[in-house]
Chains A and B, each alone.
Chain A
Amino acid sequence: MNKGLPKWADIVLIPLLSLTLAFLVSGLVVMFIGKDPIEAVKVMVSGALGKFGIGYTLYYTTNFIFTGLAVAIAFHARMFNIGGEGQAGIGGVGVAVVLLAVDWPHWTVAIVAASIGAMVFGAAWAAIPAYLQAKRGSHIVITTIMFNWIGSALIVYLLVGPLQAPGMVPETLGFSAGSSIPTLNDIFPAFDKHAPANISLFLALFAAFGVWVLIWKTRLGYEIRAFGHSEKAAIYAGIKPVKIIMVAMLVSGALAGMMAVNTVQGEAERLILDTVQGAGFVGIAVALMGRSHPVGVVLAAFLFGILYQGGGELSFAMGIPREMIVVIQALVIMFVGSLENMVRIPVERLFVRFRKGAA
């Protein structure tokens, strides 16, 4: 396994090196299309972390924390939940149903109710693939991908059918004023007024803490990790695979669903089409980069938030096409996720040599 590598190198050094490589290659790509990479970095950083941009960056970060945690917890049970996209979308339906059904008196009550709606709907959408995996052995990757499509079709149907507001636009009625949650600007006036980041960011951070407790401090988390490492050993220890698969996937779906509190309740304040915008898939990269650890997920989510927002700025300010941003994101995912050993093996060798020299 990670022979010879101290923990800090494993957790900090290798992702940093991978990232640096990703950005170097990205710089080359930017140069290749005839733009100045240094300028691009400046635009990106100021666009993502400046007074205006940070509110957007944190908005995206919130999404990515939820979906990243969702993928991470499923990873611990060795389930590859590709269905964050669909679960977050259906979570949005849950939020909309709850917020449209009742005229909520105050946002504090509304956010609790909306969260429950989001979690129940998200979990329910994960439950079917989970059940098929646990009981029938249908591969979770295939079924969750299919459920993304079913989910998106279902939302379209709802928005042009039962949930559609009067008129031609595929969206629901706006939520009542009582369910409008505070933006970060409402709490900290330093944030820009138009920035969509809202207090669900704190829900996301709290969820990260909760996942940490669940995975590393509870007996259930212990069982999930044992199952994830070795199903045979888990069965030997009396752990029921069906239970672990179901629980891990339900929690995963619920976390993905929670993203809708940020997007649907916090930003759109009504259900519209395509609220997820790929965040479910970004969650996979976030979980990979964050090593399925909540702290790593939060950091990786912030990084991807910067990439998202800064990328938008790049196309706006420098005329770098949006597709190029996707290329950069893909480079990050590639270097951090799948090319990890390219960095790890030389670093490991260096450490071994260094140690021998010291000894």
Chain B
Amino acid sequence: MTVKTQTQGQSETAAPVAPAIQLIGVSKSFGPVQANKDIDMTVAKGAIHGIVGENGAGKSTLMSILYGFYKADAGEIKIDGVTTEITDSHAAIAAGIGMVHQHFMLVEPFTVLENVIMGAEDGPLLRPSLNKARKVLLELASEYELDVDPDAIVGDLSVGFQQRVEILKALYREADILILDEPTGVLTPSEADHLFRILENLKSQGKTIVLITHKLREIMAVTDTVSVMRRGEMTATVKTSETSASKLADLMVGRHVLLEVDKSDAEPGETLLEVKNLCVTDFQGVKKLKDVSLQLKAGEILGVAGVAGNGQSDLLNILGGIEAADSGEVIMKGESIDLTTKASAAMRRERGIGHVPEDRHARGLVMPFQTWENAVFGYHNNPEFSKKFGLADQKAMMADTKRKIEKYDIRPTNPHLLASNYSGGNQQKIVIAREIENNPDVLLVGQPTRGVDIGAIEFIHKQIVALRDEGKAVLLVSVELEEILALSDRIIVMFDGVIQGERMPKETNEQELGMLMAGIDPEAST
């Protein structure tokens, strides 16, 4: 299959300029679920347009329709004022639309050049395409601050650079409209700033940008106009200059929400968990933790900030009994715990360590399990759930689940529903309910609100603070700096397997933490 890069839809018409994207009455349903209801949206040429909305509000579906992954049930799409039938991604590319997905679509062992030309080769031989791409890439690099070594292996690049490759791919295909889906989720604050500079450059060259995000701060910082989606409907489109983050949040949720966490000062007690010189190497021989030491006290929330992949996951997994450590010691209430491969997560739970894992889909829940099975997951061998002959006391499990459903306001309330049928927020509530209700002394919490809607975030944060107020210790790992700053009583920043610094939330700010996350010590003069 040969794909030619086409330059349709670029014809510059005289003023008045038609909007770059115009959606008229777009609807899409999946079975009984209506993901998009009669959406109208207009994005002006050369604007940065934000789309915000909670998980499941229909943002991704809408963009997938625009990019040709789904076909709309009804409605019309106009690109540059021309009605366009976008049947697949080739048609989208032909119409000048490029997309940067949340999860990159890159072949990691290939070089940057090979990735860029993939699917857009000019002929059966690669060399001419590669040479052409090299030239184009150099031009783009100087034009937009998009410099990437064209011969680097993509897998060796940092996520920030990988994202640039994605943008380059779209630009190489002569995209005039660039859709970015949650682009900053994996970036450090400085990388995000760089991305926004790139976007500004693109805008100044007349490109149109659609930015999908749940980070209101970013919307406020870079967009010209913003659309809010709720439950499949476009509830508002406003000029960014005429709104505020809290107004947008209210529009997203449909009621007033508190963006700040309401909590009293911590009253740290005795040290519950002490980590000494923890080291671990992954199967590729990369050192993931290098002599990490920390203390976790009763009645405090210790926030661990850092860009994903700097050792936070390994710290959680070792403390949670999922991974073994190479060396080091962990002391829980005066007794050291087993860090070898003989340990298991069940042993940690017996010691009073609960764990809300970073990835609730892969670890925290068994997706094809019913709620009552998930609500006791990991605690299923507890005496209250056991009967003779290895039988499970399913009545007790069911009763326990119903209690959790009520107390944690898990919806729908049906204990037989499969985990996959819940929204992200309710899935996370199941995990939180299970771990907190088992009354741990230490709770490990990884990315508690990733992919969780704002209403549920508020609830989950309250639960974590309540646990702290009971005198329990919480180790909070999050890539969301806002969350770390809002919840933590003390903050450590991890970079490349090392604790790069420790700060008190009231005495620091996002800029300082951002520098620490990038491995720069703001206080070091050398």
Residues of A within 8 A of B (CB): 1, 3-4, 213, 217-220, 222-223, 225-226, 229-230, 232-240, 352, 355-356, 359
Contacts and interface: CB of A to CB of B under 8 A. Distances in A.
Interface centre among B320, B373, B378 (most CB of A within 10 A): B378
A218 B349 contact: no
Contacts of A217: 391-392, 394
B420 to A, nearest CB: 6
Interface stretch (B45-53, B81-89, B118-126, B357-365): B357-365
Interface in B342-356: 344-349, 355
B411 interface: no
A11 B319 CA distance: 43
Interface in B383-402: 385-386, 389-392, 394
Contacts of B389: 218
Given A4-B32, A226-B369, A238-B378, A233 B418 contact: no
Contacts of B369: 225-226, 229
Given A217-B392, A352-B32, A238 B346 contact: yes
Nearest to B382: A219
A8 to B, nearest CB: 16
B206 interface: no
B386 A356 contact: no
Contacts of B378: 236-238
A236 B394 contact: no
19 contacts: A1-B368, A3-B31, A217-B392, A218-B389, A219-B385, A219-B392, A222-B373, A222-B380, A222-B392, A229-B367, A229-B368, A232-B359, A232-B362, A235-B345, A236-B357, A237-B345, A237-B380, A238-B321, A352-B32
Given A1-B420, A3-B31, A352-B31, A236 B373 contact: no
Interface of B: 30-32, 320-322, 344-349, 355, 357, 359, 362-369, 373, 377-378, 380-381, 385-386, 389-392, 394, 418, 420
Contacts of B349: 238
The majority secondary structure among interface residues of chain A is helix
A238 B347 contact: yes
A97 to B, nearest CB: 30
B344 A233 contact: no
A246 B323 CA distance: 21
Contacts of B32: 4, 352, 355-356, 359
Contacts of B348: 238
B366 A229 contact: yes
A229 B418 CA distance: 13
Contacts of B368: 1, 229
Contacts of A229: 366-369
B363 A236 contact: yes
Nearest to A3: B31
Given A230-B366, A356-B32, 9 more contacts: A218-B392, A225-B366, A225-B369, A229-B368, A230-B362, A233-B377, A238-B321, A238-B347, A240-B344
A313 B31 CA distance: 47
B390 A220 contact: yes
A1 B418 contact: yes
A199 B386 CA distance: 35
Contact of A236 (B345, B367, B381, B420): B345
Contact of B31 (A4, A219, A232): A4
A291 to B, nearest CB: 13
Nearest to A240: B344
Contacts of A352: 31-32
Given A217-B391, A218-B392, A233 B347 contact: no
A288 B156 CA distance: 42
Contact of B320 (A4, A213, A225, A236): A236
A232 B363 contact: yes
Contact of A218 (B320, B321, B366, B391): B391
B381 to A, nearest CB: 6
A150 B344 CA distance: 36
**Nearest 6 CB-CB pairings of A with B:** A238-B346, A238-B345, A237-B378, A236-B363, A238-B344, A218-B390
B440 to A, nearest CB: 14
B394 A235 contact: no
B363 A219 contact: no
A236 B320 CA distance: 8
A213 B390 CA distance: 10
B470 to A, nearest CB: 24
B367 A219 contact: no
A161 to B, nearest CB: 41
B471 to A, nearest CB: 25
A355 B29 CA distance: 14
Contact of A230 (B347, B367, B394): B367
Contacts of B357: 236
Contacts of A232: 359, 362-363
Contacts of A356: 32
B319 to A, nearest CB: 12
B366 A233 contact: yes
